[in-house]
Amino acid sequence: MANETEAAAAAAQAINGQGEAHVISSAVDESKLVSDAVRSWPPHAVKDLLSIGVCIRCIFRLFGASEIVHSCATLLTSALSATVEKLMGLEGHMEHKDHGSKENPCSQQSSEGSELEPKLCKICLGILQFVYRDNREMVVKRACPYDFAVFITELVKQERHQIDSFSLEVSIPSSVVENEQAVWLYMKRKYDSELWFQEKFRADCLSAKDFLKLSITNPLETLLDTKYNLSSPLRIRLTYTHSEVAIKVQKHVEKKEGNKRIKTGMSSVLHQQPHRLPSCHLNCADDMDTRVGNEIAGREYSDFVTSEEYVSTRLCNVSDNNDSPDLSQFEVEKVSQPCSLTFLCHRTPVYIGGRYLKYSRNVSQTRWIIDDERMGEASVEEIIGSNILPICRGDNYKFHAAGREDIDVRMLGSGRPFLIEVQNARRVPSEMSVKEIERKINSMENNLVKVKNVKVVGSQGWSLMREGEAEKQKQYAALVWISRSLEDDDLKTLSSVMDMPILQRTPIRVLHRRSPLEREKIIHWMKVEKIAGSSQYFLLHLCTQAGTYIKEFVHGDLGRTHPSIGSILGCRAEILQLDVTDVKMDCFLTE
């Protein structure tokens, strides 16, 4: 770990982009800001909080002075401690230590140096001290928010993301909120009658989670050279978990199961002093540590009471003892290990849409493998996806299309709308590289699939595709054989059809994967194209409502589709080939 002062100086220098003189002056400004803030607080209460092991940033939060992180980018712990120490008249560390242990046997004081700062804050479990366990279970301490932001920046850059803005998501164990509640209760019991407690203490308090965000947002903006934006698609996620706390919750539950006398429920506490509980403290709890406890114990989630119930019990134990001034009742759990920190940087999906045409009767729409054997020679999904994915440098992709055609049906005309959803793209392709993707697919030698009007669309591309999908019309060309010669009357009969309703029971060939239903569909129109030199073969052009089973409409599917070409003409009819010639949707119809 870098020396704290050096790191702070480097941070100040980087933030201000100026020389040493400025560093010194900002350090002076910072300590002045800090002492101004601290001066208005009751010294004995600050001392008390330090003695029970609350970190300095949490003290700033509790006194509603969170905005200090804006002006004090480095918010140097030692500088703060020194200021507090001076103002409190705490010259000797030993004196403080003795005092602390007398007042609260549970307090765990740092034995290193002359700092008042606890090793691990009893409230935030070290999160606001920038102490955590990394993915190799090593304990890491960053000197200041800037130092922490440097570490995050390195990780973001390792992922080689295109960075045009970023958002920040922080998840912390719910026990942090509980610890804060317990500390508040401890303070309430001692200082409830004092004016500062009634007016100021925890009245305007930022949650630990928001305080952390506030502390590192500015340094991250500087280091990543971009702006924070709540709705940015590039998400930086910090997840703190704590298994030790989770185990304690579980132990508590087991104890509670064997001891019915312990009262539970927050309601009594809330009822006593509802105005003293600012809403922010209770609504930001995560149930994360309960979940971790669940994994550790291998028990069902429902076996656990919530961690809120756990803290309520702890709190009630305290508040029930109002007659007795024995403050040793107060327990904020001792925690010896900091939280584990998991870092994730990812981009919300990038959507690339267009229309595809399929010229082969041996290419499936999506990847189709049965018992390790590929059906068809390729798939539309893979041909398009494999060309887009490397350009976006994404983790993987999903293929969506407006409807589907069978493997042996060609997709012609204006093509079918599709959407490729790229997961965690490191790069959003420019208009030029999208055109390049299009050229590449269209110049493939096998000429199985072509694409057009390909473009990057927002997530609205999704609704565009779904919009009007049920109402849309589709046009087909079918090569039909009938068991007798085609007469002129047949041509008239078929071409006179206008918006004819038909009933289709789920086709036999798809019954294994679709539920048996009867659907009404509309045949909008039909046209017959004769084939020269053949009386039993003809081309049937037809326009139908989306979702009509065309093959079944031709042969009748043993009476399951009615009427059908066979039943209308009064003979056997078979379909030999089918092409989709148009999908009537506006989606991706133009460049």
Residue 501: half-sphere exposure toward Cβ, Cα within 13 Å: 4
Nearest C-alpha neighbor of 104 from the set 174, 23, 48, 26: 48
As to burial, measured by CB atoms within 10 angstroms (0-12 exposed, 13-18 middle, 19+ buried), residue 589 is: middle
- 582: tokens are 């148009």
Residues in region 242-281 near Zn ion by CB under 5 A: none
Q: To the nearest whole angstrom, how small is the minimum distance from the Cβ of residue 63 to Zn ion?
A: 13
- 337: tokens are 């290990």
Nearest residue (CB) to Zn ion, 58 versus 420 = 58
Q: 241 forms bridges with which residues in the sheet?
A: 340
Q: Using CB under 5 A, which of the segments 121-129, 147-155, 419-427, 545-553 binds Zn ion?
A: 121-129
- By CB under 5 A, name the one of 124, 163, 384, 573 that touches Zn ion: 124
Instruction: Give CA–CA dist 402/417, Å, rounded.
Output: 6
Instruction: Give CA–CA dist 126/112, Å, rounded.
Output: 16
499 phi-psi bin (left φ>0, alpha ψ -120 to 50, beta other): left
Q: Using CB under 5 A, which of the segments 119-127, 312-320, 328-336, 384-392 binds Zn ion?
A: 119-127
Q: To the nearest whole angstrom, how small is the minimum distance from the Cβ of residue 130 to Zn ion?
A: 11
Nearest residue (CB) to Zn ion, 128 versus 419 = 128
Q: To the nearest whole angstrom, how small is the minimum distance from the Cβ of residue 44 to Zn ion?
A: 20
Nearest residue (CB) to Zn ion, 216 versus 585 = 216
Instruction: Give CA–CA dist 426/90, Å, rounded.
Output: 52
Instruction: Give CA–CA dist 342/242, Å, rounded.
Output: 11
Nearest C-alpha neighbor of 62 from the set 211, 164, 175, 162: 211
Residues in region 368-427 near Zn ion by CB under 5 A: none
Instruction: Give CA–CA dist 489/18, Å, rounded.
Output: 92
Continuous segment of H or E residues that includes residue 211? helix 208-224
DSSP structure string for 272-311: H-GGGS-GGGTTT---HHHHHHHHHHT--GGGSPPHHHHH
What single letter denotes the amino acid at residue 239? Answer: T
Q: To the nearest whole angstrom, how small is the minimum distance from the Cβ of residue 56 to Zn ion?
A: 8
Q: Using CB under 5 A, which of the segments 94-102, 123-131, 214-222, 481-489 binds Zn ion?
A: 123-131
- By CB under 5 A, name the one of 68, 79, 123, 502 that touches Zn ion: 123
Q: To the nearest whole angstrom, how small is the minimum distance from the Cβ of residue 180 to Zn ion?
A: 9
> Does residue number 206 form part of the binding site for Zn ion (CB under 5 A)?
no
- Extract long-range pairs of 150-154: CB within 8 Å, 24+ residues apart: 150/219, 150/223, 152/216, 152/220, 152/236, 152/238, 152/343, 153/220, 153/223, 153/224
Nearest residue (CB) to Zn ion, 128 versus 224 = 128
> Does residue number 292 form part of the binding site for Zn ion (CB under 5 A)?
no
Q: Using CB under 5 A, which of the segments 47-55, 92-100, 562-570, 582-590 binds Zn ion?
A: 47-55
Nearest C-alpha neighbor of 538 from the set 526, 546, 556: 526
Nearest residue (CB) to Zn ion, 152 versus 176 = 176
Residue nearest to Zn ion (CB): 121
CB atoms within 10 A of CB 176: 27
Q: Using CB under 5 A, which of the segments 51-59, 107-115, 145-153, 315-323 binds Zn ion?
A: 51-59
Q: Using CB under 5 A, which of the segments 114-122, 299-307, 366-374, 518-526 binds Zn ion?
A: 114-122
Return the residue matching tokens 């078979």.
574
> Does residue number 58 form part of the binding site for Zn ion (CB under 5 A)?
yes
The site that binds Zn ion (CB under 5 A) totals a number of residues, namely 6
- By CB under 5 A, name the one of 46, 52, 128, 168 that touches Zn ion: 128
Please compute Rg for the chain using Cα positions: 35
Residues 387 and 493 sit within 8 Å (Cβ to Cβ): no
Nearest residue (CB) to Zn ion, 256 versus 281 = 281
Q: To the nearest whole angstrom, how small is the minimum distance from the Cβ of residue 126 to Zn ion?
A: 7
> Does residue number 182 form part of the binding site for Zn ion (CB under 5 A)?
no
Return the residue matching tokens 């403290």.
281
- 492: tokens are 């008239």
> Does residue number 121 form part of the binding site for Zn ion (CB under 5 A)?
yes
Instruction: Give CA–CA dist 353/420, Å, rounded.
Output: 6
Q: Is 406 a catalytic residue?
A: yes
Q: To the nearest whole angstrom, how small is the minimum distance from the Cβ of residue 49 to Zn ion?
A: 10
Nearest residue (CB) to Zn ion, 57 versus 450 = 57
User: Strands 167-171, 234-241: parallel, antiparallel or unpaired by DSSP?
Assistant: parallel
Nearest residue (CB) to Zn ion, 119 versus 200 = 119
Q: Using CB under 5 A, which of the segments 122-130, 230-238, 453-461, 498-506 binds Zn ion?
A: 122-130
Of the candidates 98, 406, 490, 586, the residue annotated as catalytic is 406
Q: Using CB under 5 A, which of the segments 52-60, 81-89, 500-508, 555-563 binds Zn ion?
A: 52-60
Q: To the nearest whole angstrom, how small is the minimum distance from the Cβ of residue 186 to Zn ion?
A: 15
For 548, residues 6+ apart whose C-beta sits below 8 A from its C-beta are 474, 502, 504, 521, 522, 523
Nearest C-alpha neighbor of 568 from the set 545, 540, 547: 540
Instruction: Give CA–CA dist 271/319, Å, rounded.
Output: 12
> Does residue number 55 form part of the binding site for Zn ion (CB under 5 A)?
yes
Q: To the nearest whole angstrom, how small is the minimum distance from the Cβ of residue 332 to Zn ion?
A: 11
Nearest residue (CB) to Zn ion, 124 versus 315 = 124
Question: Is the link from the previous residue into 278 a cis peptide, with omega within 30 of 0?
Answer: no
CB atoms within 10 A of CB 318: 18
Nearest residue (CB) to Zn ion, 245 versus 587 = 245
Q: Vertex 558, ends 556 and 564: CA angle to 5°?
A: 15
Q: To the nearest whole angstrom, how small is the minimum distance from the Cβ of residue 246 to Zn ion?
A: 19
Nearest residue (CB) to Zn ion, 116 versus 363 = 116
> Does residue number 172 form part of the binding site for Zn ion (CB under 5 A)?
no
Q: To the nearest whole angstrom, how small is the minimum distance from the Cβ of residue 387 to Zn ion?
A: 50
The 3-state DSSP class for residue 141 equals strand
Binding site for Zn ion (CB under 5 A): 55, 58, 121, 123-124, 128
Active site residues: 406
